[in-house]
Structures are given as structure tokens and as C-alpha cells.
Structure 1
Amino acid sequence: MPTPVSARPVAVPAVSPRLLAAALLTVGLLLMLAYLVAFDQGALSQSGMYLHELMHDGRHLLGVPCH
């Protein structure tokens, strides 16, 4: 009778790489949105004031001081 071979544990990552990539992308997009709403003072609104006014209203909605 052959001697049993002990099974070696296999390292399994706690978080899948796809989930980690999706989470990092989501956090990056949310940080960009937070910048646009909280700190953009028209630098990205070169083609008109629509984006600036939209973000200005968002600042008031979130309670971020702007003026």
C-alpha cells in the first residue's frame, strides 16, 4: 500500500484581480467626480458655462462652500 501524500495548501487571493481592478476604477472615477464638484472653478468649462453652473449647483447641494 502506498503511503499517502499530504496535500499542500494552495494560496488563494483574498480578492480577485478583476474585483480589485473594478474597485480601483470606481474609486478613481468617484475621486474625479468629487474634484469636479468641489474644486472646479471653471477650468474645465472652456466651451461654456453649462458645466460650471452644474458643478456650482452640486456644491450647494452637497454643502461645499464655494463663495
Structure 2
Amino acid sequence: MVGAWCELLRLPGGLTDHSDFFARGGDSLLITRLARRISREFEVEVTAPELSRRNLGDQVTLIRSRRTTPRAA
């Protein structure tokens, strides 16, 4: 997750669990790209609005909770 944020936001690092995507320079287009990347890399369904309301730590928690939930057939 940190790598995706740093790449999309062009940051050298310095992120914490409390980092806010928009406060660090993100916008609606970048959060949409982040949602697609997470869905692809972590094989979970997340939307840009879900990620928009969460800091980095909360996004990680969301992804972990979705990865442990069995998918419907």
C-alpha cells in the first residue's frame, strides 16, 4: 500500500498509518487509480469512495478484511 501511495502521489516516503491521501496531494482521479490498483494487486473489490473516507491505516484494514472474506460463487 505504501508503495502504491508513494508512486501515485510521487512521494519519497514519510507516510504513517494516519496519512490522508488528499492531504498528501491526491485527487479524485488518483484515488480511482488507487482503487483499481488495489483491486488488481490484492484481488479485492474496493471503490474510490470507500478509500476516500479512510486514511492509509484504515485502507489497509479494509483490504485485510476483504481478503479474509470468502467470495460468493
**TM-score, normalisation: structure 1:** 0.32
Larger Rg: 1
Tell me which of the two structures has the higher relative contact order, counting C-alpha pairs closer than 8 angstroms and 6 or more residues apart: 2
**TM-score, normalisation: structure 2:** 0.30
